[in-house]
Amino acid sequence: EAYDAGDHESFMHKEMLEQPARAEAVLRGRLDDKFGTGHLGGLNLDARELRAIKRVKILGCGSAYYVGQMGASLIEELARIPADAEAASEFRYRNPIVEPDTLYVAVSQSGETIDTLLAVQEIQRKGGFVIGLVNVVGSAIAREVDGGIYLHAGPEVAVASTKALTNMYLAFAMLAVQLGRVRDLSIADGRRLIAGLNAIPGQIDQVLAAEPELAVVAKSLAEAESLFFIGRVRGFPVAREGAQKFKEISYRHAEAYQTSELKHGPLALISTAVPTVAIVPDDELVERNVAALHEIAARGGPLTVVTHAGVDLGDLAGKVERIDVPKNERELDPILLTIPLQVLAYHAALSLGHDIDKPRNLAKSVTVE
Ligand code: G6P
């Protein structure tokens, strides 16, 4: 059956709206409600081998790299294993240390990105064990890895990735729960997270239902030449991905920063002409995040705040654009905070009249160095 954009004005729009159904597909058959764990048979690792993992290193490019950062934080939080993500394009050039008790994870929608593929080969050359989080079945990376999790996002045509990214995140969440459950993550916490995962497809649908309101916000953001996207800890990779998507298709300068680093530099650039999109989840950092919003507002910086219903913005309420997303478990919130940023980028690009699916100078998969 041919994959076309149907009634949608672009593939990106179609692919955004497919997310609830595709999210269900990646979770299907892989969640164990009873014992609160994941069932990821394709990893080719038994409980003892999972238990022996001392470190996790994630490699990907572009958006896949930013989801990798979200994945690293899930793994550290839920399994308490040191984890980090690195741009696959840099990895092989710094003579990386590859260790036998590290789990390497290559993340790629296409499975053909040359930088990610060469990182996989460098790891294997040094005797490392690498799994793939890959969408395209039978792609180069999928064939070369030692195990993996297929993303079941279906074909993705738009250069700006949406549904594949969401499924990468969900795959990382299942991996993190499974790694956690062979360690200190309790059965109760495991069940809590599995229930959270089961709720995500419906919650994505709720975010997407706000598209008309998000389109209005996007139109005003598109007028700015330069924007900041800010977040911290779990929210920082969300900000990075939000800025990436915005710059890829709107061609506006969008820069991601840790909210905590604002005062160490970028605050100098804040003015009425430079809007900020702030990621402010209802978590342990909410008060600090709201304080940072005041710093921006005091300098006249326009604010769009992606947050949760319970968050009190104090005297900023009414002065900022507020986007509430449904609350899930704290650890799983990042993916829901990411969805409105896709919609903002999409409508900004649309209002500027750009070719959404084929942004200038970019390719869907970069297969040459
Ligand atoms: C290209 C695209 C990015 C994408 C990256 C990784 O650079 O422009 O949007 O995130 O490739 O692609 P992959 O297929 O490996 O996920």
Of 328, 310, 311, whose CA–CA distance to 170 is shortest? 328
Residue 281, pLDDT score = 97
| Ligand 1 centroid from CA 319, angstroms | 36
* pLDDT digits (tens), the chain, 369 positions: 578 888 888 999 999 999 999 999 999 999 999 999 999 999 999 999 999 999 999 999 999 999 999 999 999 999 999 999 999 999 999 999 999 999 999 999 999 999 999 999 999 999 999 999 999 999 999 999 999 999 999 999 998 999 999 999 999 999 999 999 999 999 999 999 999 999 999 999 999 999 999 999 999 999 999 999 999 999 999 999 999 999 999 999 999 999 999 989 888 899 999 999 999 999 999 999 999 999 999 999 999 999 999 999 999 998 999 999 999 999 999 999 999 999 999 999 999 999 998 888 888 888 888
Mutate to test the pocket of ligand 1, among 133, 161, 367 (most ligand atoms within 8 A of CB): 161
Nearest protein Cα to ligand 1, atom 11: 365
| 109 within ligand 1 shell (Cβ under 6 A) | yes
Q: The pTM is what? A: 0.97
Query: Which tokens belong to 114?
Result: 């040359």
Residue 160, pLDDT score = 92
Which alpha helices (H) appear in the chain, and where do they start and end?
Answer: 11-17, 19-27, 47-51, 63-79, 88-91, 114-125, 140-144, 163-181, 187-208, 211-221, 235-250, 286-298, 333-351
| 162 within ligand 1 shell (Cβ under 6 A) | no
CA 116 to ligand 1: nearest atom:
15
Nearest protein Cα to ligand 1, atom 9: 160
| Ligand 1 centroid from CA 364, angstroms | 6
| Ligand 1 centroid from CA 63, angstroms | 6
Residue 365, pLDDT score = 83
| 87 within ligand 1 shell (Cβ under 6 A) | no
| Ligand 1 centroid from CA 120, angstroms | 16
| Ligand 1 centroid from CA 17, angstroms | 20
- For the chain, the 3-state helix, strand and coil shares in percent, each to the nearest 5, are 50, 15, 35
d(CA 184, CA 189): 10
Identify the H or E element spanning 55. strand 55-60
Report residue 160 CA to chain centroid gap. Answer: 12
Helix, strand, or coil (residue 363): coil
Check if the beta carbon of residue 123 is closer than 8 Å to that of residue 104.
yes
| 259 within ligand 1 shell (Cβ under 6 A) | no
Residue 1, pLDDT score = 58
Residue 360, pLDDT score = 85
Of 108, 332, 70, whose CA–CA distance to 204 is shortest? 332
Burial class (CB in 10 A: 0-12, 13-18, 19+), 47: exposed
